[in-house]
Structure 1
Protein backbone atom coordinates (compact mmCIF):
# COMPACT_ATOMS: atom_id res chain seq x y z
CA UNK A 1 0.00 0.00 0.00
CA UNK A 2 2.84 2.40 0.85
CA UNK A 3 4.48 1.64 -2.49
CA UNK A 4 1.25 2.54 -4.29
CA UNK A 5 1.02 5.82 -2.38
CA UNK A 6 4.65 6.70 -3.14
CA UNK A 7 4.15 5.78 -6.80
CA UNK A 8 1.00 7.92 -6.99
CA UNK A 9 2.77 10.89 -5.43
CA UNK A 10 5.71 10.47 -7.80
CA UNK A 11 3.44 10.31 -10.85
CA UNK A 12 1.55 13.35 -9.62
CA UNK A 13 4.80 15.25 -9.28
CA UNK A 14 5.86 14.26 -12.80
CA UNK A 15 2.50 15.34 -14.18
CA UNK A 16 2.65 18.73 -12.44
CA UNK A 17 6.21 19.23 -13.69
CA UNK A 18 5.15 18.43 -17.27
CA UNK A 19 2.22 20.83 -17.03
CA UNK A 20 4.52 23.56 -15.71
CA UNK A 21 6.95 23.00 -18.57
CA UNK A 22 4.10 23.08 -21.10
CA UNK A 23 2.94 26.38 -19.60
CA UNK A 24 6.40 27.87 -20.07
CA UNK A 25 6.45 26.71 -23.68
CA UNK A 26 2.95 28.08 -24.18
CA UNK A 27 4.15 31.64 -23.70
CA UNK A 28 6.72 31.47 -26.51
CA UNK A 29 4.33 29.47 -28.66
CA UNK A 30 1.63 32.09 -28.03
CA UNK A 31 3.96 34.89 -29.13
CA UNK A 32 4.82 32.97 -32.30
CA UNK A 33 1.14 32.28 -32.97
CA UNK A 34 0.26 35.98 -32.60
CA UNK A 35 3.00 36.99 -35.04
CA UNK A 36 2.04 34.30 -37.56
CA UNK A 37 -1.75 34.53 -37.42
CA UNK A 38 -1.84 38.32 -37.42
CA UNK A 39 0.77 38.36 -40.20
CA UNK A 40 2.74 41.07 -38.45
CA UNK A 41 5.09 43.14 -40.59
CA UNK A 42 8.77 43.26 -39.60
CA UNK A 43 8.16 46.68 -38.01
CA UNK A 44 5.17 45.30 -36.06
CA UNK A 45 7.23 42.28 -34.95
CA UNK A 46 9.87 44.64 -33.52
CA UNK A 47 7.20 46.58 -31.63
CA UNK A 48 5.48 43.37 -30.47
CA UNK A 49 8.79 41.96 -29.20
CA UNK A 50 9.45 45.20 -27.31
CA UNK A 51 6.01 44.94 -25.64
CA UNK A 52 6.69 41.32 -24.76
CA UNK A 53 10.05 42.24 -23.26
CA UNK A 54 8.39 44.99 -21.24
CA UNK A 55 5.29 43.12 -20.02
CA UNK A 56 6.27 39.46 -19.58
CA UNK A 57 8.40 40.21 -16.48
CA UNK A 58 5.51 42.25 -15.04
CA UNK A 59 3.12 39.31 -15.49
CA UNK A 60 5.69 36.95 -13.97
CA UNK A 61 6.13 39.26 -10.96
CA UNK A 62 2.40 39.17 -10.29
CA UNK A 63 2.31 35.39 -10.71
CA UNK A 64 5.22 34.93 -8.30
CA UNK A 65 3.94 37.38 -5.65
CA UNK A 66 2.84 35.04 -2.88
CA UNK A 67 1.39 37.91 -0.83
CA UNK A 68 -1.47 38.36 -3.34
CA UNK A 69 -4.74 36.52 -3.08
CA UNK A 70 -6.02 34.71 -6.15
CA UNK A 71 -8.54 37.51 -6.77
CA UNK A 72 -5.90 40.23 -6.38
CA UNK A 73 -3.62 38.36 -8.75
CA UNK A 74 -6.40 38.03 -11.33
CA UNK A 75 -7.32 41.71 -10.97
CA UNK A 76 -3.72 42.86 -11.42
CA UNK A 77 -3.16 40.58 -14.40
CA UNK A 78 -6.33 41.84 -16.08
CA UNK A 79 -5.31 45.48 -15.54
CA UNK A 80 -1.87 44.76 -16.96
CA UNK A 81 -3.37 42.92 -19.92
CA UNK A 82 -5.64 45.89 -20.71
CA UNK A 83 -2.67 48.27 -20.50
CA UNK A 84 -0.63 46.05 -22.83
CA UNK A 85 -3.54 45.68 -25.27
CA UNK A 86 -3.89 49.47 -25.56
CA UNK A 87 -0.24 49.71 -26.57
CA UNK A 88 -0.58 46.73 -28.92
CA UNK A 89 -3.60 48.23 -30.66
CA UNK A 90 -1.57 51.37 -31.41
CA UNK A 91 0.32 49.51 -34.13
CA UNK A 92 -2.14 46.82 -35.24
CA UNK A 93 -4.44 47.38 -38.18
CA UNK A 94 -8.21 47.22 -37.49
CA UNK A 95 -8.30 43.74 -39.06
CA UNK A 96 -5.42 42.57 -36.87
CA UNK A 97 -7.11 44.04 -33.80
CA UNK A 98 -10.27 42.04 -34.55
CA UNK A 99 -8.29 38.86 -35.13
CA UNK A 100 -6.26 39.40 -31.95
CA UNK A 101 -9.43 39.91 -29.91
CA UNK A 102 -10.81 36.63 -31.30
CA UNK A 103 -7.55 34.86 -30.43
CA UNK A 104 -7.66 36.18 -26.85
CA UNK A 105 -11.30 35.16 -26.43
CA UNK A 106 -10.53 31.65 -27.69
CA UNK A 107 -7.49 31.38 -25.42
CA UNK A 108 -9.54 32.47 -22.38
CA UNK A 109 -12.28 29.99 -23.23
CA UNK A 110 -9.74 27.18 -23.66
CA UNK A 111 -8.12 28.04 -20.33
CA UNK A 112 -11.51 28.09 -18.61
CA UNK A 113 -12.47 24.74 -20.18
CA UNK A 114 -9.12 23.26 -19.18
CA UNK A 115 -9.64 24.23 -15.51
CA UNK A 116 -13.03 22.50 -15.32
Structure 2
Protein backbone atom coordinates (compact mmCIF):
# COMPACT_ATOMS: atom_id res chain seq x y z
CA UNK A 1 0.00 0.00 0.00
CA UNK A 2 2.84 2.39 0.86
CA UNK A 3 4.55 1.62 -2.45
CA UNK A 4 1.36 2.36 -4.34
CA UNK A 5 0.92 5.68 -2.51
CA UNK A 6 4.55 6.55 -3.14
CA UNK A 7 4.12 5.72 -6.84
CA UNK A 8 1.13 8.06 -7.08
CA UNK A 9 3.02 10.86 -5.38
CA UNK A 10 5.98 10.47 -7.75
CA UNK A 11 3.68 10.41 -10.81
CA UNK A 12 1.97 13.54 -9.52
CA UNK A 13 5.30 15.32 -9.13
CA UNK A 14 6.39 14.34 -12.62
CA UNK A 15 3.08 15.47 -14.12
CA UNK A 16 3.28 18.80 -12.27
CA UNK A 17 6.81 19.39 -13.57
CA UNK A 18 5.73 18.59 -17.13
CA UNK A 19 2.78 20.99 -16.94
CA UNK A 20 4.98 23.73 -15.48
CA UNK A 21 7.50 23.28 -18.32
CA UNK A 22 4.73 23.45 -20.93
CA UNK A 23 3.39 26.67 -19.37
CA UNK A 24 6.90 28.13 -19.38
CA UNK A 25 7.28 27.24 -23.07
CA UNK A 26 4.00 29.00 -23.90
CA UNK A 27 5.12 32.08 -21.94
CA UNK A 28 8.46 32.07 -23.78
CA UNK A 29 6.75 31.80 -27.17
CA UNK A 30 4.36 34.62 -26.32
CA UNK A 31 7.25 36.78 -25.09
CA UNK A 32 9.21 36.12 -28.30
CA UNK A 33 6.16 36.96 -30.41
CA UNK A 34 5.57 40.20 -28.53
CA UNK A 35 9.21 41.25 -28.89
CA UNK A 36 9.24 40.33 -32.60
CA UNK A 37 6.02 42.20 -33.32
CA UNK A 38 7.32 45.31 -31.56
CA UNK A 39 10.57 45.13 -33.52
CA UNK A 40 8.72 44.75 -36.84
CA UNK A 41 6.42 47.69 -36.09
CA UNK A 42 9.34 49.88 -35.01
CA UNK A 43 11.74 48.94 -37.82
CA UNK A 44 9.12 49.22 -40.57
CA UNK A 45 7.59 52.44 -39.18
CA UNK A 46 4.10 51.08 -39.79
CA UNK A 47 1.25 53.54 -40.16
CA UNK A 48 -1.78 53.26 -37.87
CA UNK A 49 -3.70 51.46 -40.60
CA UNK A 50 -0.81 49.09 -41.29
CA UNK A 51 -0.42 48.39 -37.57
CA UNK A 52 -4.09 47.42 -37.30
CA UNK A 53 -3.77 45.09 -40.30
CA UNK A 54 -0.50 43.66 -38.97
CA UNK A 55 -2.01 42.96 -35.54
CA UNK A 56 -5.03 41.23 -37.09
CA UNK A 57 -2.79 39.15 -39.35
CA UNK A 58 -0.58 38.11 -36.44
CA UNK A 59 -3.56 37.15 -34.32
CA UNK A 60 -4.97 35.00 -37.13
CA UNK A 61 -1.73 33.24 -37.99
CA UNK A 62 -0.48 32.83 -34.41
CA UNK A 63 -3.69 30.92 -33.68
CA UNK A 64 -3.20 28.73 -36.77
CA UNK A 65 0.43 28.02 -35.87
CA UNK A 66 -0.48 27.23 -32.26
CA UNK A 67 -3.09 24.76 -33.48
CA UNK A 68 -0.51 23.00 -35.68
CA UNK A 69 2.04 22.87 -32.86
CA UNK A 70 -0.53 21.33 -30.51
CA UNK A 71 -1.61 18.67 -33.02
CA UNK A 72 -0.23 15.49 -31.48
CA UNK A 73 -1.14 13.49 -34.60
CA UNK A 74 1.60 15.29 -36.58
CA UNK A 75 5.26 14.40 -36.40
CA UNK A 76 7.73 17.18 -35.50
CA UNK A 77 8.79 17.36 -39.15
CA UNK A 78 5.17 17.65 -40.33
CA UNK A 79 4.52 20.35 -37.73
CA UNK A 80 7.57 22.27 -38.87
CA UNK A 81 6.56 21.95 -42.53
CA UNK A 82 3.01 23.20 -41.87
CA UNK A 83 4.33 25.99 -39.66
CA UNK A 84 6.69 27.18 -42.40
CA UNK A 85 3.88 27.08 -44.98
CA UNK A 86 1.72 29.23 -42.69
CA UNK A 87 4.57 31.70 -42.19
CA UNK A 88 5.03 32.03 -45.96
CA UNK A 89 1.29 32.54 -46.39
CA UNK A 90 1.33 35.18 -43.65
CA UNK A 91 4.24 36.97 -45.30
CA UNK A 92 2.50 37.09 -48.67
CA UNK A 93 -0.57 38.66 -47.01
CA UNK A 94 1.68 41.05 -45.11
CA UNK A 95 3.35 42.20 -48.32
CA UNK A 96 -0.07 43.16 -49.72
CA UNK A 97 -0.11 46.24 -47.48
CA UNK A 98 3.60 47.00 -47.03
CA UNK A 99 5.47 49.43 -49.26
CA UNK A 100 8.37 48.04 -51.34
CA UNK A 101 10.83 49.66 -48.91
CA UNK A 102 9.08 48.07 -45.93
CA UNK A 103 9.12 44.70 -47.68
CA UNK A 104 12.89 44.97 -48.16
CA UNK A 105 13.38 45.92 -44.51
CA UNK A 106 11.15 43.03 -43.41
CA UNK A 107 13.15 40.55 -45.49
CA UNK A 108 16.30 41.88 -43.81
CA UNK A 109 14.76 41.35 -40.37
CA UNK A 110 13.85 37.77 -41.30
CA UNK A 111 17.40 37.08 -42.53
CA UNK A 112 18.81 38.52 -39.31
CA UNK A 113 16.47 36.37 -37.24
CA UNK A 114 17.46 33.24 -39.17
CA UNK A 115 21.16 33.95 -38.62
CA UNK A 116 20.54 34.37 -34.88
CA UNK A 117 18.73 31.02 -34.75
CA UNK A 118 21.57 29.28 -36.57
CA UNK A 119 24.11 30.73 -34.15
CA UNK A 120 22.11 29.80 -31.03
CA UNK A 121 23.36 26.68 -29.22
CA UNK A 122 21.21 23.60 -29.68
CA UNK A 123 18.63 23.14 -26.96
CA UNK A 124 17.92 26.85 -26.66
**TM-score class, shorter:** 0.7 to 0.9
User: What is the correspondence of 1:1-116 to structure 2 with a 5 Å cutoff?
Assistant: 20=25, 21-116=27-122
- Which runs of 4 or more aligned residues in structure 1 lie more than 6 Å from their structure 2 counterparts after TM superposition? none
Output the aligned Cα RMSD. Answer: 1.9
CA offsets per residue over residues 2-26 of structure 1, 9 Å max, x none?
xxxxxxxxxxx7xx67972333201
CA distance in 1, matches of 2:117, 2:23: 17
Tell me, which stretches of 5 or more residues in structure 1 are unaligned?
1-12
1: CA distance, partners of 2:23 / 2:72: 22
Q: Deviations over 1:28-52 (max 9, x none)?
A: 1111111111000001001101101
2:5 counterpart residue number: none
- The normalised TM-score by structure 2 is 0.74
**Whole-angstrom distance in 2 between the partners of 1:50 and 1:18:** 24
Distance 2:48 2:109 in 1: 21
What is the match of residue 10 of structure 1? none
- Stretches of structure 2 that go unaligned for 5 or more consecutive residues are 1-16
CA distance in structure 1 between the aligned counterparts of 2:69 and 2:96, rounded to whole angstroms? 26
TM-score by length of 1: 0.78
Give the whole-Å Cα distance in 2 for the aligned partners of 1:99 and 1:89. Answer: 11
